[in-house]
Structure 1
Amino acid sequence: MAKVQTEDAREDAGLEPSLGAGVGVEGRSPWQLFWRRFRRDRVALVGLVLIGLMIAAALSAGLFARYVVHHPDVNEFHFDMLDEYGLPLGPNKEFWFGADPQGRDLFLQVMYGARTSLIVAFFATGLEVVIGVVLGVIAGYFRGKVDTFISRMMDVVLSLPVLLLALGLVAACGLQPQGCLGGLIKPGLLLVSYVIGLFSWPYLARIVRGQVLSLREKEFVEAARALGASNVRIMFREILPNLIAPIVVYSTLLVPANVLFEAGLSYLGIGVPITTPSWGRQLSDASSLFQSAWWTMFFPGLFLLITTLAFNLVGDGLRDALDPRAEAAAYARKGRRRKRKEAMGEGEIVATEPAPTGGVG
């Protein structure tokens, strides 16, 4: 059994099987090895299932509104869900999560809020990846003045008060019906996504730049350069495919950060339009009623927590699955712990054996 586990560990780490492993070892592609390592991480699989459920809830919010709770309009006011003091009523058979402070169905508000948060987070993450990867590859490959210019640009963006500038830009563009930049950026979800993406790309760009600096001197890059390949081809056909693992891992960790960023902007009242459900705005509206109507803050906060936690769990699982050295190191640590336990067990057995007594001649 230990022999089989050792061979599996060598295969997962991308190593050749040992000489005593037998004949006819089945080869596996890198993606098969990745999936084999990833599915062993039960915590990451739980996070992946939670993400799938959250995306399904966001996509099926309209179907739930029409065929399950029979309230097609998410912003419909239900005055029968307010008591004589104007406070929202709690969960019941018709309103599963109760009502929000305005008497709307909180269940639908939360489900549509998931759609808002995921759209903003995915679009902002895509914008960050495009800008960060392109500028990071260019800076790391050309070095010199190009690297200096892009690096200083990163420093400037990172030194800006992001929250204050985001508040100002969203407020300035949101107050103009035609939007900003001649109508290119209009008020709505894309405006918040643009603002988040334009201020967060340097983090990924620095990671990509560091990886490119180490890859540009490798043999396969020198071979492509000797064969007459252009700089663009070397950067995006030779170097970029070797950066997929760190880009995927960091992008997965960017999504929950962007979800929280959007929720923070909406909590402050400067985010998506007021008619668009958002977890941040729901938390802001419920902050003054938490003691008397706990559900108005509990359910949006719970879904926000689950979403960010699930993406972080998947990101950690992807990082471990895409790094064979981490898997090999984990198996090595397990082997050392097992040997220590076996040694301690043998020591206890020896200690419990009675000492021999000498006979009297």
Structure 2
Amino acid sequence: MNLFVGKINSLIKEFSNKVETEIKEGEYPVATPKASEPVIVNNKNLKKASKILFSSDKSQISDDIILHFNELEKLIPFSSTPKAFHSAWELRTNNLNKFAADRLANEGAQLIPQNKISNIFGIRDQQGVMLGPNKRLIMGVRHSAGNYDDELDDLRFTYQPPRTVPGMLRYRWCEFLSKNLEIPFTMLAVIWLWYSIDVKTKIPIFIISPAQIINSEKNLRDFGKSLNSPLELQIVNRAEVYKSIHRFESMQDTLAEIRFRSDLDVRLAEEWSFEEIHSSKKGKEIKKWFKDNDKKCPGSKCGHIQFDEISDSEIGFGHIIPQDWAITFPHYQTILHHPDNLYLTCNKCNSSLGSSFPNKTNSSQEDIEKSGTIGDWLRRTKT
């Protein structure tokens, strides 16, 4: 069993326990455009819903998550820009004329006619939630005028769950994965419109954009209070999705636990780059914090000496990707002096590396992780 499958198995067990202990039998109302009866939840339909999500070999559940991201990656090139998607949302009509179509295209919309590439581009289900492999995950949500929450505020919107127990539980499972894998769960937001070719002919047109789950923490505290809560989603650009996909792929390939870091604000990274800290008050501030917090040198040449046992002049800033390598491979130049490529080390260990990467014999990845990069220090003290 690889690390990823083991991680998913552990999450299934934890999620199932929360379902069993936190969700009580009763009536759970779901907001709909028209008044509707609440969803009745009892132990029988809860077990049935859990069976839909998890009743298979555990490795198949992991495979379905992988298939979700693989399918997503194939469809991302068809996505429109967030700006164009917002404009399409604001049309407030399902009919698209040639003038609006041209404006949307100029803003970065991809107007996709109905086709059989994916059920995303079909009109069998013109509204609602579209499911991924084996109905475990959400591949997309369709929007049309007047459907539930009709506001796209700052590219964020909420989407109410289906009026079924499996549908509501599936919302929480996607949020649970998003938080515990530390990779924003991504799906596709879909707008469908009718485009008039001529007076007599209309064809279905689709505009899609990736959307990621946000602010899931409140729903995960107690499933009994959040079972019928909507998803909160944010429209994002392609680069954000590819970043999530690459993180997901890294998680599958590694044999060790990976710590994912949020991106540092560009201005903060520039303010605390190597040029700004290696011989300045900022550098002294960093060294003082590492000393005050009993941090050790990650290098082994000095025997992992405590920073508070040596003077500031004996402490330097090491590069994970060495400076010499950036000369030979210029593409490293953009990240060379970034705080996430820097770590605090004693001069003895730093000089012993020369033009080599940190390695098991001196300043291993594990030791640098324990001590933390300068970027880690910024996340802890400046954000």
Same fold (TM over 0.5): no
The structure that is strand-richer by fraction is: 2
In our comparison, the structure showing a higher alpha carbon Rg is 1
Normalised by the shorter chain, which TM-score bucket?
Answer: under 0.3
Tell me the TM-score normalised to structure 2 length. Answer: 0.24
Choose between structure 1 and 2 for higher RCO, CA contacts under 8 A separated by at least 6 residues.
1
More helix by share: 1
